[in-house]
Structure 1
Amino acid sequence: MSLSVAEKTKQYVLGTYARAPFVLDRGEGMYVVDDAGNRYLDFASGISVNALGQCDAGITAAAHEQFQRLGHVSNLYYSAPQADLAEALCQSSFADKVYLANSGTEAVEAAIKFARKVAYTRYGPGQKTGIVAFTGAFHGRTMGSLAMTPREKYQKAFRPLLPDVQIAPFNDVDAIAEFVTDATCAVFVEPIQGEGGINPASPEFLQALRDVCDRVGALLVFDEIQCGMGRTGTLWAYEQTRVVPDMLTTAKALGSGLPIGAVLMTDAVAGVMGVGDHGSTFAGGPVICRVAEATVKRISDPAMLAHVKEMGALLVERLNELNSPHVVEVRGRGLMVGVEFDMDVTPLIQASYQHGLILINAGPQVLRLLPPLIVEPEHIDALIDGLTSMLAELPEGTAA
């Protein structure tokens, strides 16, 4: 007797994920379908990955055509797709150079190394090694990025983590000078926190970080792994501020479902790195680079970005019409929206499957809405109808 997919997964795959009670089998555009034929409207997009939806024809063609031409070659050789992607990323941002990785966490780890090398080169060994991150941050789960992700449940069993990391209060301008000092080599911040609850950094906070980093000679690093790539209505979230970072990490939507990460940086940062200082066997391969280049071109189209702003405004407007006593706040930017409730949202996520929806959280009391950027008004209407029904079905007296 053959095992079911769920049984086989439980038997052979390390159980580090809590999974939904169905097996996804296929997808198209805004929808995914399970192996029983049930169809779900996807308002998570693989955690901000599938910006162009499922099975986009242009992305599929880019991957197919490149794999037929040239697959993996390693970074011992030049390839046109890598050069083209790097050019597209630099020309669409502040960056002069790009380092390519395989994931967001890898991009963050690379940025840590680059920041340490800049400080080592400019100030000497051991003089400037401190890193500052913020409450509510999520930068990854490997040992360096985990040190900057202040969740006790994530960190507890894995200490000691990367040393010389301090966690400062997010959006607290007055506290910055206490944490960012002459011993700091880099400050890592999400312009809009994702896992932390969809919390936008204030313009004043980001400007204060830029000012203090300039004053003490530290690098300012924006983590746009979740909020970048058009998610907020501009290709990069920093474009909506007057603050330009020294480095920026990106991943998720960059690969349209294939694994890739990148660090965008100025020449001042890139100039300290030499051959052998960092590397990766798989990073920057021809297939993923061709897919990522196609993704950047599609998402950076002004019509696409205007659509994101329009649909984001409509989504917030409709969410504010829910008029539920359980809704505390609707916040976000573009199509990165959080709905904070006065209760644990787990029952809503579980109920959403019965209403043909895919929803995820950002902390215990925030629904995180990250639809593909191709979302249309009828999809938002369907979401609101589902949420309205789910809220009406909550047991009387439900609250935090």
Structure 2
Amino acid sequence: MNKEPVSRELFDEVMVPNYAPGSIIPVRGEGSRIWDQDGREFIDLQGGIAVSCLGHSHPGLVGALVEQAEKIWHLSNVMTNEPALRLAKTLCDLTFAERVFFANSGGEANEAAFKLARRYGWEHTGPEKHEIISFKNAFHGRTLFTVSVGGQAKYLEGFEPAPGGIHHADFNDLESVKKLISKAKTCAVVVEPIQGESGVVPADPEFLEGLRKLCDDNSALLIFDEVQSGVGRTGHLYAYEMYGVVPDILTSAKGLGGGFPVAAMLTTAKVAASLGVGTHGSTYGGNALACAVAQKVIDTVSQPEILKGVKARSDHLRKGMMDIGERYELFSEVRGAGLLLGCVLTEKWKGKAKDFLNAGLDEGVMVLIAGADVIRLAPSLIIPDTDIDEALERFEAAVKKLTA
């Protein structure tokens, strides 16, 4: 096994350049703290982009992985496995869902959801009912289909021609949807309850309620992309519960495995019937290792005390960032829900989000950005209050230097 020392420069020599990683290479994590190759410590408010919902090296997740690894790792999908069945049953018991499809990533879960919506429209109405309505600035993945449904042209540039039959309305604008939806042609409307990548923008409750009615009136399916907002991130197991609006299909990934690759598409029995044998699949979807870890994640996160704790930590972190914002005239608002927060830079600092991310690293705190104007926070759902306090101190030190 090659154990030669590696550096950030090696990335440029051996990796496809579709990423531009920072200069540090983390090598160890525990709880909400990470250490790099040089032993420098960082408090992690990134959470692997809303993935590490129980922090790093959580003993329960490590135990679940080791226990399953000593049994069986992988089976082809010509047969099922116990962890997949148990996890599917749990997800059905805890949500609106009656059927579950497992994949490896949010993009794959969304790909399955969009294919299912078209297949359902085809079976129940005909081939003309294939159009999908999404929203400008949405993000649904990087496959050709999902990046086309997503409403950000920059991610599609150079990959055209895109799949057809996709329309983009304005987020939080029900009238713009009414102009596009058609009972004859629209098979689905897909929406993020909180747009993550475009700046952590929550949907208005009335908007989601209106989408549900429009879909019902036009025999279209309502799809919630909860890849980022799901698995306790908002203080509810899934954000649809916070809004009181039940979708026909829901996609989940990121936090579902707490860092282990796993995703799920949840739906009703009636809708699921359209993906019969041979219509869709995934070699690793429902992998025994992934499902065993995800089971432990869901069993842990779904506990009332954990979800209640998310709301308390959210208040703590939000207030701390707002206080920093006021002292340095830095943020116009802090928005979002639970531990998915977006701190919107004031006009004076517009376009400088990446600068604050880098300054934070220099002070030992990891934050995210969502576009050029928003600092995004998505830490562990169980981050200790002491770590929040120290992270805020470190971030304020970074802000003080950068704004001096």
Query: What's the TM-score, normalizing by structure 1?
Result: 0.96
The corresponding residue for 2:221 is 219
The corresponding residue for 2:402 is 394
Give 1:138 deviation, angstroms: 0.7
Give 1:71 deviation, angstroms: 1.1
The corresponding residue for 1:349 is 357
Give the Cα separation in 2 of the matches to 1:313 and 1:210. Answer: 30
Give the Cα separation in 1 of the matches to 2:153 and 2:288. Answer: 39
CA shift digits 1:246-303 (9 cap, x unpaired): 0000000101111111100011211222110111111101111111111100000001
Q: Residue 334 of structure 1: which of 328, 335, 338 is its match?
A: 338
Give the Cα separation in 2 of the matches to 1:23 and 1:228. Answer: 28
Give the Cα separation in 2 of the matches to 1:3 and 1:294. Answer: 34
The alignment-based identity, stated in percent, is 39
Equivalence map 1:91-102=2 (5 Å): 91-102=93-104
Letter in 2 for 1:325: E
The corresponding residue for 1:316 is 318
The corresponding residue for 2:389 is 381
CA shift digits 1:190-218 (9 cap, x unpaired): 00111010100011000010000000111
Q: How large is the RMSD of aligned CA atoms in angstroms?
A: 1.2
1:94 match: secondary structure: coil
Q: Residue 239 of structure 2: which of 237, 240, 265 is its match?
A: 237
Give the Cα separation in 2 of the matches to 1:297 and 1:63. Answer: 14
1:313 match: secondary structure: helix
Give 1:395 deviation, angstroms: 4.5
2:157 match: secondary structure: helix
Give the Cα separation in 2 of the matches to 1:207 and 1:27. Answer: 41
Letter in 1 for 2:317: L
Give 1:114 deviation, angstroms: 0.4
2:34 match: secondary structure: strand
Give the Cα separation in 2 of the matches to 1:348 and 1:393. Answer: 10
CA shift digits 1:102-137 (9 cap, x unpaired): 110000000011001110011122x21110111121
The corresponding residue for 2:15 is 13
Give the Cα separation in 2 of the matches to 1:228 and 1:320. Answer: 25
Query: What's the TM-score, normalizing by structure 2?
Result: 0.95
1:179 match: secondary structure: coil
2:321 match: secondary structure: helix
Q: How many aligned positions are there?
A: 394
The corresponding residue for 1:279 is 281
Equivalence map 1:64-103=2 (5 Å): 64-103=66-105
1:394 match: secondary structure: helix
Give the Cα separation in 1 of the matches to 2:62 and 2:186. Answer: 44
The corresponding residue for 1:140 is 141
2:77 match: secondary structure: coil
Give 1:3 deviation, angstroms: 6.6
2:167 match: secondary structure: strand
The runs of 5 or more residues in structure 1 that have no matched partner are none
User: Does the CA-based 8 Å contact 2:365-2:395 persist in structure 1?
Assistant: no
The runs of 5 or more residues in structure 2 that have no matched partner are none
Letter in 2 for 1:299: V
